[in-house]
Amino acid sequence: VPFALRRFDIYRKVPKDLTQPTYTGAIISICCCLFILFLFLSELTGFITTEVVNELYVDDPDKDSGGKIDVSLNISLPNLHCELVGLDIQDEMGRHEVGHIDNSMKIPLNNGAGCRFEGQFSINKVPGNFHVSTHSATAQPQNPDMTHVIHKLSFGDTLQVQNVHGAFNALGGADRLTSNPLASHDYILKIVPTVYEDKSGKQRYSYQYTVANKEYVAYSHTGRIIPAIWFRYDLSPITVKYTERRQPLYRFITTICAIIGGTFTVAGILDSCIFTASEAWKKIQLGKMH
């Protein structure tokens, strides 16, 4: 029975005294091992590293939000008093709120001559706008100066992921201090829903946005219109999804086996060709001597 079982051995052993070591074979073997080591370390790095893939689809990803989007705004108006600064919100669902004050803060700048407005609020998932203006002030100033710097404007959760570089704060750092003090500013935003899913399956919902802007002095039949800083937004139907993925273990093992097997096979063929050519050359030289 043992002999019958041994007949199935496809890795038959050659006795050592029937093999012949060569310098060429030694060099090829060393190079082969170094090459395998290099490819193994490369594959191991790829296996350990988390890959972030993205996809696009049409859907509302955050259906549990109640149709709301959280907004974070941080803006400085260095030439407008805090008692004049207010935030107004309106949209196509009929919302019209003047002087929003919940979760907001006004910080005096330049010894009270300017103001920094910081606020968190929510908007409905319908086209609309929110704007920084003097509309909520008790008495309207004659020449409000709307020059400003936008420190932050973001929507949804804050994503701080190294492998994701998106326009989550596209207006951060926007400087309009040298613009016409009496001009209104229109920022037209296209908001793109974004989902980030980590390896555990936990999802975070944020929003990227593109922006276009214009600056103008508006007039009506009664004279110049009081300037404001407008953020007009609309939502894109396309959702961007980022997913963390790691290479499966079975694929890593398959790749390593392919590397080892393929390298040794090619090296064996190369060594065999060199050895055969060398032996043939020796026979030719011996023939010439005789």
User: Does residue 278 carry a pLDDT above 90?
Assistant: no
pTM of structure: 0.73
List Cα–Cα distances, 112 to 78, 137, 276, in angstroms: 9, 16, 92
10 Å CB burial of residue 268 (0-12, 13-18, 19+) is middle
* Per-domain boundaries in the chain: 23-51+246-269, 59-237
Predicted confidence (pLDDT) per residue in 262-275, tens digit: 998 998 888 888 88
Predicted confidence at residue 1, as pLDDT, reads 53
Which is higher by pLDDT, 132 or 59? 132
Predicted confidence (pLDDT) per residue in 97-106, tens digit: 999 889 999 9
C-alpha to C-alpha distance for 69 and 89, rounded to whole angstroms: 13
- Grade residue 125 by pLDDT with cuts at 50, 70 and 90: very high
User: Does residue 207 carry a pLDDT above 70?
Assistant: yes
